[in-house]
Structure 1
């Protein structure tokens, strides 16, 4: 079961922008991540590789400070908002709930819930001749 300081350190790492390092530093070796009802991805190394590949497709990912963080024993829920700016300068937003199960001070399972109809909606269009920012 994580203490609040450990959860806060995880949140700070993610908001800081190095999502791959956050996976390395806060997930178990056998951790899994699952998007809505999709099959989970398994293993910290695979999770890091998937995240690095996703981020490489972007110009920028901005992680807002969470709207709320709930800690209840080994369960943590984080209400995230992410703005992803494409290489074409278009910024899209995802708002999600991440429900985590911790083993000690590391995340063992994480499942993301978001509305697929409104996920990654455009919040800022590219400006001709320049790249957008979030």
Structure 2
């Protein structure tokens, strides 16, 4: 079960737009991430590389935790708001739920639930 302080440090790092660093610091080596019903991405190094690829396409980013955060044993649920201003000039605003399974002080599995239509840039 993660400590509240650990979850808060994770949230703070994401809100500071250090998404790739947060993955490197707070995920197990064999961690998985899954978007809705897509196949999970596997392995911390791959997750970091994928996040760096996304961030490379971003001109500006707002990342905000919408509280409260729910912690129950090894499970954490966080609602996120993201506003991406892409380098091509389009904007995407996303709200999602992240359902995390922690192993001690690290995230082992994470699944995101969101409406994919939110990713259609305007």
Normalising by the smaller structure, the TM-score range is over 0.9
**RMSD, matched Cα:** 1.3
SS of residue paired to 2:55: helix
Structure 2: stretches of 5+ with no match in the other structure:
none
The structure where helix makes up a greater share of residues is 2
Superposed displacement of residue 57, structure 1: 1.2
Distance 1:67 1:116 in 2: 22
In structure 1, the partner of 2:106 is 106
Superposed displacement of residue 62, structure 1: 1.4
Do the aligned partners of 2:30 and 2:42 also contact (CA within 8 Å) in 1? Answer: yes
Query: What TM-score do the two structures reach when normalised by structure 1?
Result: 0.86
Do the aligned partners of 2:65 and 2:79 also contact (CA within 8 Å) in 1? Answer: no
In structure 2, the partner of 1:96 is 96
Deviations 1:8-59 (A, max 9, x none): 1110110011101000110000000000000000000000000000111111
Superposed displacement of residue 100, structure 1: 0.1
In structure 2, the partner of 1:64 is 64
Runs of 4+ in 1 over 6 A off after TM superposition: none
In structure 2, the partner of 1:50 is 50
Number of corresponding residues: 122
Do the aligned partners of 2:81 and 2:96 also contact (CA within 8 Å) in 1? Answer: yes
Larger radius of gyration: 1
Do the aligned partners of 2:58 and 2:84 also contact (CA within 8 Å) in 1? Answer: yes
In structure 2, the partner of 1:36 is 36
Superposed displacement of residue 66, structure 1: 2.6
The structure where strand makes up a greater share of residues is 2
